[in-house]
Amino acid sequence: MKFCTVKQYFDDENNNNVTNGIATTVIPLPNKHLKIKANNKEMEQYEQELLRNVMPQELTKLILAANYLNFKEALDFFCRTVANAIQNKSVDYVRKFFGLESDFEPGEEEKLCKEFAWSFEGVDED
C-alpha cells in the first residue's frame, strides 16, 4: 500500500504535503530499517543519532510525511523514538518537547494529579 501512495505523490504535482527533502529521508528508511532490524543495539544508536542530528521541526515533518505516505515501518519507528524520548520524564519536559502549553483551568491540573494519578499507579509485588 505504501508504494501506491508514493506513486500517487509523484504523479500529483500539486501535492504540498511532502517536500522533496523529507521524502528523500523517509523513503530510504525502510531499507535501513530492514538492514539493521536484526540488531537492536544498532537500532537504538540510529534512534539516538536521529534525535540528535535531525532538527525538531524536521522530525515533526518526518512523522507527518510517514503518516501521509502510510509508511508503517517509518511511522512506527518515529513514533517509538518520540515515545522513548518522553518516557520517565516530567510533564513540564514533555510540554517543552512538544512546544505545548497547559490549557487547564488553574487548579484543575493539580486536581487531576492529586485525585487521579495515584489511583492508578503501581507499586510492587506484595
Chain residues in the site for other proteins (CB under 8 A):
51, 56-57, 59-60, 63-64, 67, 75-76, 79-80, 82-84, 86-91, 94-104, 109, 112-113, 115-126
Shortest reach from residue 17's CB to other proteins, in Å: 12
Shortest reach from residue 6's CB to other proteins, in Å: 19
- Which residue, 2 or 95, has its beta carbon nearer to other proteins? 95
Are 26 and 65 in contact by the 8 Å Cβ rule? The answer is yes
- Which residue, 13 or 115, has its beta carbon nearer to other proteins? 115
- Which residue, 11 or 124, has its beta carbon nearer to other proteins? 124
Are 5 and 65 in contact by the 8 Å Cβ rule? The answer is no
Shortest reach from residue 104's CB to other proteins, in Å: 6
- Which residue, 13 or 126, has its beta carbon nearer to other proteins? 126
Are 66 and 74 in contact by the 8 Å Cβ rule? The answer is yes
Report how far Cα 118 is from the mean position of its chain's Cα atoms. 27
d(CA 79, CA 83): 6
Q: How many CB atoms lie within 10 A of CB 6?
A: 17
